[in-house]
């Protein structure tokens, strides 16, 4: 921390030329193997990472640079994954900067938390810097803001890795992540900065809450069996209800029908031709007339109450509706009995 | 009431969807009342009604589709099964042979078929029926063509 802040304060105070000088200085330090080793180190310390989660999240609010940072994060990630040294210059420099940060310090998340302190507000920075006996004056405010942003970058990446690593563990408990962050937020690194703690906590709660339910949803969705009406259901899965109604269709082929109705009667209609409402499974297994004209039970009942003739062949419905299927479920059996009793009433 | 409204609404959507499916039929629902429809049908070719456009008025009962819609010609037509003054149509499917499976669209198709194949044995227009029953095809055709030209064709000049 000391060397870090010192190096920054020693760099030109004007932020734009400082950027340029930093780029030059840090691009020289870039060594991929070193980076990877550092990353391993970082990952091994989940606690530190977690702490950074809240630090990172804590800086989200009201920072206009957040979107830029997000882009940089992505480029950083790519850069680390590919292992090539050349991605866009800025991202590189940033990551190098952080490696150097962690290099100069025991990786106990002290840097990031103190950096965040600077990030959150000038006062908090002075708090943390005073406790860490840093000589960073008020002129380092702008610098630390930059640093805070960079810190976010590195943290973000590490957090993403860590989250991916123990995703399955955390999926089970939506609050686990939260709790961890909470307790970590209250004990950040070396100095218990109350402002930082509260900041990190509050915003972390805000930010992690939408995240966790998403993960849980994913988990539940993955272990749930496909439902017939599931939109994510693969098309290749056979439709059980359709399969069950196929024998009825086959059966009807031998029985003929009214010529003008035949085209629509051969394929089981998806909707009742009378009321145009969708046929459910009970309806589509209901075959009230030998001609093969299908309709929903509701319309069948209404027709029985009126003239009692099949709309397809105009012959009066028989008392006994044709047994559509031998293997109907209990529910449809009762409805069929009901329909039969209705037709009995209509006849008598 | 509710069922008939739902069914008519679905028929309306069907008509909108398949507007181009049957170019001989234009089925339009009344703007304010879904139980009132009008249809424009083209006279079938190779009949005296060819080239004419005939307007039909549908009055749909609340028991629809269990009860048939009441249909009549608004355009004058010389046809044995259509009342010359009222436009009433004598068609079995609009009476006792109605089936709830029929739609307004299919009724229009049936009426077009009736125009091409008159039934002189159950006439509403006795003059027309008598001409056909007496075998005076030429007389019937010239009369029907004259009325088609007078009533169902755009006025020239």
The candidate with the shortest Cα–Cα distance to A196, out of A296, A88, A98, A112, is A112
The candidate with the shortest Cα–Cα distance to B16, out of B7, B27, B5, B3, is B27
Cα–Cα dist A315/A87, whole Å? 80
- What's the confidence (pLDDT) of residue A99? 43
Contact assignment for A274 to B100 by CB distance below 8 Å: yes
Residue A308, domain member (yes or no): yes
Residue in B closest to A264 by C-alpha: B101
Contact assignment for A302 to B3 by CB distance below 8 Å: yes
Residue A297, domain member (yes or no): yes
**pLDDT level of residue A305 (50, 70, 90 thresholds):** confident
Per-residue pLDDT of A166-187, as tens digits, reads 554 444 444 444 444 444 444 4
Mean pLDDT of chain A: 51
**Mean pLDDT confidence for B11-18:** 88
**pLDDT level of residue A163 (50, 70, 90 thresholds):** low
- What's the confidence (pLDDT) of residue B21? 80
- What's the confidence (pLDDT) of residue A254? 38
- What's the confidence (pLDDT) of residue A18? 53
Residue A78, domain member (yes or no): no
**ipTM, two decimals:** 0.75
- What's the confidence (pLDDT) of residue A19? 56
Query: Is pLDDT of A151 > 50?
Result: no
Per-residue pLDDT of B68-115, as tens digits, reads 999 999 999 999 999 999 999 999 999 888 988 899 999 999 999 999
For residues B85, B87, B93, B95, the Cα torsion angle rounded to the nearest 10 degrees is -50
pLDDT > 90 in chain B, percent: 67
pLDDT higher at A70 or B22: B22
Cα–Cα dist B155/B157, whole Å? 6
Of B7, B65, B101, the CB nearest to A312: B101
Per-residue pLDDT of A86-124, as tens digits, reads 444 444 444 444 444 444 444 444 444 444 434 443 333
Residue A96, domain member (yes or no): no
Domain count, chain A: 1
pTM of the model: 0.45
Cα–Cα dist A145/A63, whole Å? 10
- What's the confidence (pLDDT) of residue A295? 84
**pLDDT level of residue A277 (50, 70, 90 thresholds):** confident
Contact A196, A121 (CB under 8 A): no
Residue A61, domain member (yes or no): no
pLDDT higher at A289 or A46: A289
- What's the confidence (pLDDT) of residue B47? 94
Cα–Cα dist A208/A177, whole Å? 8
Q: What is the 3-state secondary structure (H, E, C) of B39-89?
A: EEEECCCCCCCCCCEEEEEEECCCCCCCCCCEEEECCCCCCCCECCCCCEE
Q: What is the 3-state secondary structure (H, E, C) of A200-226?
A: HHHHHHHHHHHHHHHHHHHHHHHHCCC
- What's the confidence (pLDDT) of residue A88? 42
B90 is catalytic: yes
**Mean pLDDT confidence for A289-316:** 84
Please state the separation of Cα A212 from the chain's center in Å.
9
Query: Is pLDDT of A213 > 90?
Result: no
**pLDDT level of residue A133 (50, 70, 90 thresholds):** very low
**Out of B29, B90, B108, B126, which one is annotated catalytic?**
B90
Contact assignment for A303 to B3 by CB distance below 8 Å: no
With contacts defined as CB-CB under 8 Å, which chain B residues touch A274? 7, 65, 100-101
Query: Is pLDDT of A307 > 50?
Result: yes
CA distance A343 to chain B (A): 17
CATH of the domain at A311: 3.30.40.10
Residue A26, domain member (yes or no): no
CATH of the domain at B6: 3.10.110.10
Query: Is pLDDT of B157 > 50?
Result: yes
Per-residue pLDDT of A324-336, as tens digits, reads 444 444 444 444 4
The DSSP code for A317 is P
Write out the residue range of the structural domain in which residue A298 sits: 269-318
Query: Is pLDDT of A302 > 60?
Result: yes
Query: Is pLDDT of A59 > 50?
Result: no
Per-residue pLDDT of A259-276, as tens digits, reads 444 444 446 677 888 888
Q: Which of A245-249, A312-316, B136-140 reaches the highest mean pLDDT?
A: B136-140
CA-to-CA dists, residue A217 to A176, A213, A347, B67, B142, angstroms: 15, 6, 55, 51, 77
Write out the residue range of the structural domain in which residue B30 sits: 1-156
Cα–Cα dist A282/A289, whole Å? 15
Of B7, B97, B99, the CB nearest to A275: B7
Which of B100, B109, B110 is best to mutate for the A interface (most A CBs within 10 A)? B100
Q: Does A278 touch chain B (CB under 8 A)?
A: no
Q: Does A288 touch chain B (CB under 8 A)?
A: no
Domain count, chain B: 1
Residue A79, domain member (yes or no): no
Q: Which two tokens stand for residue A270?
A: 């998806």
């Amino acid at each position: 921390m000391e060397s870090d802040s010192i190096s920054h304060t020693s760099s030109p105070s004007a932020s734009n030329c400082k950027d340029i000088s930093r780029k030059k200085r840090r691009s020289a330090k870039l060594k991929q193997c070193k980076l990877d080793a550092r990353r391993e180190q970082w990952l091994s310390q989940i606690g530190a990472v977690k702490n950074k989660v809240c630090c990172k999240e804590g800086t989200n609010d009201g920072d206009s640079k957040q979107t830029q940072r997000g882009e940089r994060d992505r480029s950083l990630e790519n850069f680390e994954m590919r292992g090539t040294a050349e991605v866009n210059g800025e991202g590189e420099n940033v990551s190098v900067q952080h490696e150097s940060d962690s290099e100069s310090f025991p990786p106990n998340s002290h840097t990031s938390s103190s950096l965040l302190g600077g990030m959150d507000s000038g006062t908090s920075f002075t708090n943390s810097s005073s406790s860490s006996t840093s000589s960073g004056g008020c002129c380092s405010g702008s610098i630390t803001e930059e640093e805070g942003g960079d810190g976010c970058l590195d943290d973000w990446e590490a957090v993403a890795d860590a989250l991916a690593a123990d995703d399955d563990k955390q999926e089970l408990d939506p609050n686990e992540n939260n709790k961890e962050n909470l307790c970590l937020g209250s004990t950040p690194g070396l100095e218990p900065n109350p402002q930082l703690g509260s900041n990190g906590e509050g915003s972390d709660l805000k930010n992690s809450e939408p995240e966790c339910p998403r993960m849980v949803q994913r988990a539940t969705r993955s272990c749930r069996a496909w439902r017939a009406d599931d939109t994510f259901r693969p098309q290749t899965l056979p439709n059980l209800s359709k399969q069950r109604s196929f024998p009825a269709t086959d059966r009807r082929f031998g029985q003929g029908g009214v010529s003008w109705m035949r085209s629509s009667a051969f394929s089981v209609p998806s909707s009742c031709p009378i009321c145009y409402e969708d046929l459910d499974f009970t309806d589509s297994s209901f075959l009230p007339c030998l001609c093969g004209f299908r309709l929903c039970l509701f319309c069948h009942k209404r027709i029985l109450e009126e003239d009692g003739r099949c709309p397809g062949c105009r012959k009066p419905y028989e008392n006994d509706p044709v047994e559509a299927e031998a293997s109907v479920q209990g529910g449809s059996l009762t409805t069929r009995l009901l329909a039969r009793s209705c037709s009995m009433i209509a006849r008598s | 009431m509710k069922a008939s409204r739902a069914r008519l609404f679905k028929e309306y959507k069907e008509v909108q969807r398949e507007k181009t499916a049957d170019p001989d039929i234009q089925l339009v629902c009344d703007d304010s009342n879904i139980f009132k429809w009008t249809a424009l049908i083209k006279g079938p070719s190779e009949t005296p009604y060819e080239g004419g456009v005939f307007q039909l008025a549908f009055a749909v009962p609340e028991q629809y589709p269990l009860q048939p819609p009441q249909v009549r010609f608004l355009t004058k037509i010389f046809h044995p099964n259509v009342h010359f003054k009222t436009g009433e149509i004598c068609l079995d499917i609009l009476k006792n042979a109605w089936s709830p499976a029929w739609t307004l669209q299919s009724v229009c198709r049936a009426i077009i078929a009736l125009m091409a194949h008159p039934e002189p044995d159950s006439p509403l227009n006795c003059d027309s029926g008598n001409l056909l029953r007496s075998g005076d095809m030429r007389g019937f055709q010239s009369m029907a063509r004259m009325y088609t030209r007078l009533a169902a064709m755009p006025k020239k000049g």
